[in-house]
Amino acid sequence: MGAKATGEACAVCGGRTWVLERRGDVAMARVCACSESCSVCDGRGHVLVEREAVFSQKMGPRLYEVMEPCICTRRRRRVALFNDVGLPGVVSHASFDNYRAFNEAQDRGRGVAMHFAHQYVKGGTDAKGGPAKGFILSGPVGTGKTHLMAATLAHLVLEVGIRARYVEISLLYATIRRGFQEGKSGGEIIGPLSDVEVLAIDELGKGRGSPFEMETLDELIARRYNAGRTTLFATNYSLEPERKALRTPSAPAGYRTTEDARNTAREAELLRERVGERIYSRLCEMCTFVELPRDTPDRRRTRQEMDAPMHHAPGGLRSAGR
């Protein structure tokens, strides 16, 4: 007897009727086995429902039977939409429930993303009828920014039923360059990203800052800004309006590694400087800003250090890590 027949939630999907999993380097969805057979339409994919409508002022409102897609058809459509999002496989199981916050700022970031996802209205308008405002998450590597973006997109696509896409900005640049070799224009690749209802751009500010990259980014954001499309961003660069004084990393007096210097310089870089004033100004209007502190722990590194076995040198002495 199936989970639905017994009234119990499916142990595989938890009652969601769909399953997310990693296939190679991308996140994919599929209809759970518990919902493959539909008892509502008996596999026809559509149902007859009664709707009230007025086709004649003389007759007034009347009830009519109309054909509508069954819930199983809508489920399959949403699964297909999710499989077009392009989320990385590493975040296939990302959700708001399994996001771990180490500080208040991360908890706020989760709250902003979750509120956006749960309050989003299909069509991309806010309560006043204007474009729905997205969000931008800034913070060091490994602090869960992509996790929150993935959880947001999964909810929007599978629960709300919208079209969404995810792009990592440096991979987008590489895709456009390959397109040039195949005779495609940058506009042919940017076009679908400009029109999709919600677009998530990861690693904003990454790259060499070449004219090609800046022009590509400017065109993409300008198109979405002008069309009133909702866009989400994640970046490793600070959202602060002004550059702060460089912080000297803790190190023995007179000693500073090259990596220390690089990290210090990277922490001081501003997104405004990486993307330019024009794009930054538009981001201020398009998004809610959330900045995670520079000392927020790297979740991947923390997990590795906790899971790594203790290695011992010959003679029973522990080997010192570098």
Residue 82, token pair as written in the block: 């999710």
Looking at residue 238, what DSSP letter applies? B
Beta pairing class for 198-202 and 230-235: parallel
Cα–Cα distance between 124 and 58 in angstroms, integer? 38
- Taking a C-beta distance cutoff of 8 angstroms, is the pair 153, 305 a contact? no
- Taking a C-beta distance cutoff of 8 angstroms, is the pair 70, 79 a contact? no
Residue 17, token pair as written in the block: 């009727």
pTM: 0.81
DSSP codes joined into one string, 211-228 = HHHHHHHHHHHHHHHHHT
Per residue in 49-89, pLDDT (tens digit) is 777 777 777 777 877 778 888 989 999 999 999 999 999 99
Cα–Cα distance between 263 and 246 in angstroms, integer? 10
How large is the average pLDDT for residues 22-45? 91
pLDDT above 50 (res 37): yes
How large is the average pLDDT for residues 11-18? 92
Confidence of residue 4 (pLDDT cuts 50, 70, 90): very low
Task: Please name the residue that has the structure tokens 């990290």.
Answer: 263
Task: Please name the residue that has the structure tokens 């440096």.
Answer: 170
Helix/strand/coil for 210 = coil
State the chain's mean pLDDT as an integer.
84
Residues 6+ apart with CB under 8 A from 313: 319
pLDDT at residue 53, as a whole number: 74
Q: Which domains, from first to last, does the chain contain?
A: 9-53+60-76 (no CATH), 85-304 (3.40.50.300)
pLDDT over 70, % of the chain: 82
Cα–Cα distance between 268 and 276 in angstroms, integer? 16
Which strand (E) or helix (H) includes residue 29? strand 26-31
